[in-house]
């Protein structure tokens, strides 16, 4: 589905956008295409969902959101869709996934919850538990970030 040109563009867009007046022109020149072509392609990728978001990734720890927890929920299989959608609506929830449970791990919904303090995280989670009506859950507070990076696709 992706052409060779697409893959070349996507490779370059994984790097940091240059901090010059015309950053897209600079990239386009390097690729040997026009600035307009590049901008059109980016819009196309956004429309197709290939690019989820274009912009800055903020370090939330440096930005003052000091506490966060991965919350794992054991939700009845028949209710996962409804529960996942409800949890996703909370602003304090940045990620919400359904994952395949197994013999060693009974929990099937996963949310990342952010707050200024651990106590605030706990309060948010209690609120979610009430609203979604789930009582089997666990908070796994983050102790330390060991790695955070972006994957380089097509390398």
- Please give the residues from 16 up to 35 whose contact with other proteins meets the rule CB under 8 A: 16-17, 19-25, 35
| Least distance CB 65 / other proteins (angstroms) | 6
Task: Give 22's contacts (C-beta < 8 A, 6+ positions apart).
Answer: 35
- Residue 100, phi then psi, degrees to nearest 5: -70, 120
Torsion angle, alpha carbons of 42, 48, 54, 59, to 10: -150
Instruction: Count the neighbouring beta carbons within 10 Å of the beta carbon of residue 11.
Output: 14
Size of the site for other proteins (CB under 8 A): 83
* CB closer to other proteins, 3 vs 102: 102
| Least distance CB 133 / other proteins (angstroms) | 17
| Least distance CB 61 / other proteins (angstroms) | 4
81 part of the interface to other proteins, by CB under 8 A: yes
| Least distance CB 27 / other proteins (angstroms) | 10
113 part of the interface to other proteins, by CB under 8 A: no
99 part of the interface to other proteins, by CB under 8 A: yes
Member of 66, 74, 79, 129 binding other proteins (CB under 8 A): 66
The number of CA neighbours under 13 Å toward the Cβ of 36 is: 0
| 110, 97 Cβ separation under 8 angstroms | yes
């Amino acid at each position: 589905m992706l052409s060779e040109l697409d893959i070349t563009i996507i490779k370059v867009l994984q790097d940091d956008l240059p901090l010059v007046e015309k950053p897209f022109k600079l990239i386009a020149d390097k690729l040997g295409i026009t600035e307009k072509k590049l901008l059109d392609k980016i819009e196309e990728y956004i429309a197709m969902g290939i690019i989820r978001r274009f912009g800055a990734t903020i370090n939330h720890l440096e930005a003052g959101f000091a506490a966060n927890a991965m919350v794992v929920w054991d939700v009845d299989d028949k209710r996962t869709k409804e529960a996942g959608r409800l949890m996703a609506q909370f602003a304090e929830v940045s990620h919400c996934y359904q994952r395949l449970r197994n013999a060693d791990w009974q929990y099937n919904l996963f949310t990342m919850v952010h707050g200024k303090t651990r106590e605030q995280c706990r309060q948010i989670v209690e609120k979610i538990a009430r609203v979604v009506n789930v009582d089997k859950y666990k908070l796994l507070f983050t102790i330390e970030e060991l790695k955070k990076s972006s994957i380089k696709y097509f390398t």
